[in-house]
Amino acid sequence: DVKVTQSSRYLVKRTGEKVFLECVQDMDHENMFWYRQDPGLGLRLIYFSYDVKMKEKGDIPEGYSVSREKKERFSLILESASTNQTSMYLCASSRRQGYYGYTFGSGTRLTVV
Amino acid sequence: DQQVKQNSPSLSVQEGRISILNCDYTNSMFDYFLWYKKYPAEGPTFLISISSIKDKNEDGRFTVFLNKSAKHLSLHIVPSQPGDSAVYFCAASARGAGSYQLTFGKGTKLSVIP
């Protein structure tokens, strides 16, 4: 069964901490994405990557950075966590061609206190 | 500017009846549409899709209808079951234009009442 695995289901961090959210996929997908989901706002794209070491800003990149050193791993970094970054974070992956949609991870519920 | 709109934030339906979830889009380059289902504390899962060369696609209790002239699609669930209670996201992509990135609507929360 193909999978996108996010390292933590629930995370509590303090304001100002540097936070790493990890995502690994085993489908050899080229594309990987980070979204956050908030009530009433739907899924908002933070960053995406079409290849190793490549990254593109999404709709709400401020306060975040990403790293993709290997094809299967895409990391989201909160440089200095703030309370407005409390959210559900979702990682997804897809093939570059022959498009069949995204496969999502189970999500990380991050609370910043 | 929202290119994919789900104008109903929530919908309540009695068990056994039909659920109809609607989605409108503005980008005429969109040629592939998907519906995702999301339970709380879980990631979205793919439900059903439709290409713009079709106007209907059916998979068991789920049917998606596409009206290209109206730039409108709908998801029908018949009969609705309590386990269908979830948030449903409509998504679109412009594969013909070379973009495989999905644009999502804000979601509709479906509650199926036993």
Helix H, strand E, coil C: the string for A54-111 is: CCEECCCCCCEEEEEEECCEEEEEECCCCHHHCEEEEEEEECCCCCCCCEECCCEEEE
What was the pLDDT predicted at A98? 57
What was the pLDDT predicted at B100? 73
Q: Do B107 and A42 touch (CB under 8 A)?
A: yes
Q: Is A83 a residue whose pLDDT tops 60?
A: yes
* Calpha distance A82→B74 (Å, rounded): 38
- CB contacts of B41 in chain A (<8 Å) are 9, 88, 106-107, 109
Closest CA to B88 of B47, B31, B57, B32: B47
- Distance from the first to the final alpha carbon of chain B: 38
How sure is the predictor about A2, in pLDDT bands with cuts at 50, 70 and 90? low
Between residues B92 and B100, the one the model is more confident about: B92
* pLDDT tens digits for range B49-98: 999 999 999 999 999 999 999 999 999 999 999 999 999 999 998 877 66
Q: Which backbone phi and psi does B82 adopt, to 5 degrees?
A: -55, -35
* pLDDT tens digits for range B11-21: 999 999 999 99
What was the pLDDT predicted at B77? 98
Q: What is the least distance, in Å, from the CA of B49 to any CA of chain A?
A: 9
What was the pLDDT predicted at B1? 72
Q: Which backbone phi and psi does B53 adopt, to 5 degrees?
A: -80, -5
* Calpha distance B6→B47 (Å, rounded): 16
* pLDDT tens digits for range A5-44: 998 999 999 999 999 999 999 989 999 999 999 988 889 9
* pLDDT tens digits for range A48-68: 999 899 999 999 999 999 999
- CB contacts of B9 in chain A (<8 Å) are 40
Residue B33 Cα distances to A98, B47, B57, B60, B82, angstroms: 14, 11, 11, 18, 25
* pLDDT tens digits for range B7-50: 999 999 999 999 999 999 999 999 999 999 999 888 999 999 99
Least confident segment among A29-43, A83-97, B96-110: B96-110
Neighbouring-strand partners of residue B56: B65
Q: Quick check: helix, strand or coil at residue B96?
A: helix
B75 burial via Cβ count (<10 Å: 0-12, 13-18, 19+): buried
Q: What is the least distance, in Å, from the CA of A16 to any CA of chain B?
A: 25
What was the pLDDT predicted at B104? 93
Residue A47, chain B, CB below 8 Å: the answer is no
Extract the tokens encoding A88. 């559900």
What was the pLDDT predicted at A1? 66
